[in-house]
Amino acid sequence: MSKLWGGRFEGRTDDLVERLGESVSFDARLAPWDLRGSIAHARMLGQQHIIPARDARAIIRGLQAIAKEISAGRFTWDVALEDVHTNIEAALVRKIGDSGKRLHTARSRNDQVATAVRLWTRDQIDQIADLLRALQAALIAFAEAHLGVIVPGFTHLQHAQPVLLAHHMLAYVEMFQRDAERFAQLRSRVNVLPLGSAALAGTPYPIDREQVALELGFEAVSANSMDAVADRDYLIEFCANAALAMMHLSRFSEELILWSSPEFAFIEIGDAFTTGSSIMPQKKNPDVAELVRGKTGRVYGDLMALLTLLKGLPLTYNRDLQEDKERVFDAADTLQLCLEVFTRMIPALSVNTDAVKRALRQGFMEATDLADYLVTKGMPFRAAHEVIGKIVLYCARNGKALPDLSLEEFRGFSTLFDDRVFSVLSAEAIVRRRDHPGATAPARVRDALRAAKRRLRTR
């Protein structure tokens, strides 16, 4: 490990130890956020007269020049310097001389890295919020375009009751709304400045933490210096939120995979989001949905790795915490990619209305409404449930659907049936009767669509 700042040591670090300890191969991506934190810190040091003002100005100019080099891809990262923070500081000293060595006054790499990671996490939350909003907008547009389509609703993957396809899609809008709310709530917990905590106990210098927090957009400063450098709860929360969002994408993926199979044939996924087979020319595989479903397990792994990493660490900072970054980077990258590809795929879905209509005649989905019909005639629901169960058995044995039965056949099971029974047997009537907030009646779904669009506009 780097002994750039290590006057305590005489011997050289073993090569394998350098390989074990380096993190710049993955934490170099924190450079923009590390530079932002360092510039704010340098400005505060100068204004508080902790370092000469001319040195503070030189440091800021040097860091801004390094930021441009990194952005242009001209910066050379040195694995021997261990991490992004030491690489940048070493480059600063090379660029402006001994003035650069004053930058680390009143801080430690412990609170420095904690600050950079919080800044990075805050920006990822904002990007994910935008991606969730875009996916919800795509789902709302799809729902509006298919407002008249009725599909089978399922429980236990068995035909249950007919619902509007738009109602089905709005269920996912609600799931992603909860994801957005969870990330928004996390943002306030992330948005706390740890800089100023130094290694673990604070610093004797007269720093102005509030000034640094204001410049960096933090809402508060940390209340306990030991907790500030040791805390990674927010990264665990981030991965937990990402895991939940991926779970929702995975459930959606599973339905798209099923619905695009010949057994269902409810939808066809556009060519840009499917692949063929190396041997079977007829195949059109829902690879995007399968990949998202698979990557969900990857994000679950990131969450479990962080929980395991933190479970036995004493206060305060321990080098184990270097292992947090790859996991949270992976969770953020995976979720953002999957959200973006899903948003593009939604408009590429086409609905096979003929297949959907055929499916609506299967599974006796009118049964519940027939039971409710008998209830309106005065029969207790449990008794009605038993009568309709016998009718379903009769239909199953005779290869009939419920709408195929004659009035005489219905009356063979109960004299309460009259010719108005046929008014409850169409999918349109079944859907229309569920007319209360949150249900699948067309008027209620239109209300839900308007509410969802208002919510997106105000978020």
The residues that are catalytic are 156, 277
> What is the DSSP annotation of 275-296?
B--SS-TT--B-HHHHHHHHHH
Rounded Cα distance between 426 and 361, Å, is 10
- Residue among 364, 344, 360 nearest 352 (CA): 360
- Residue among 238, 431, 403 nearest 332 (CA): 238
Contact call for residues 75 and 13 (beta carbons, < 8 A): no
Place of tokens 């309460």: 416
Rounded Cα distance between 271 and 340, Å, is 17
| DSSP run (H or E) holding 33 | helix 31-47
Rounded Cα distance between 431 and 151, Å, is 10
Rounded Cα distance between 249 and 345, Å, is 12
Q: What backbone torsions phi and psi does residue 176 show, to the nearest 5 degrees?
A: -70, -25
- Residue among 157, 137, 53 nearest 99 (CA): 53
Rama region for 178: left / alpha / beta (φ>0; ψ in -120 to 50; rest): alpha
3-state secondary structure of 264: coil
Q: Alpha carbon 424 to chain centroid distance?
A: 41
Residue count of the chain, please give it: 459
Strand partners, 134: none
Rounded Cα distance between 255 and 267, Å, is 10
Kindly provide the b/e burial profile for residues 405-419, where b requires at least 16 CB atoms within 10 angstroms of the residue's own CB.
beeeebeebbebbee
Contact call for residues 203 and 111 (beta carbons, < 8 A): no
Rounded Cα distance between 252 and 272, Å, is 18
Helix, strand, coil % in the chain, rounded to nearest 5: 65, 5, 30
For residue 361, give both structure tokens. Answer: 């005649």
User: Using alpha carbons only, what angle is made at residue 57 by residues 56 and 59, rounded to the nearest 5 degrees?
Assistant: 65
> What is the DSSP annotation of 31-98?
HHHHHHHHHHHHHHHHHTTSS-HHHHHHHHHHHHHHHHHHHTT-PPP-GGG-SHHHHHHHHHHHHHGG
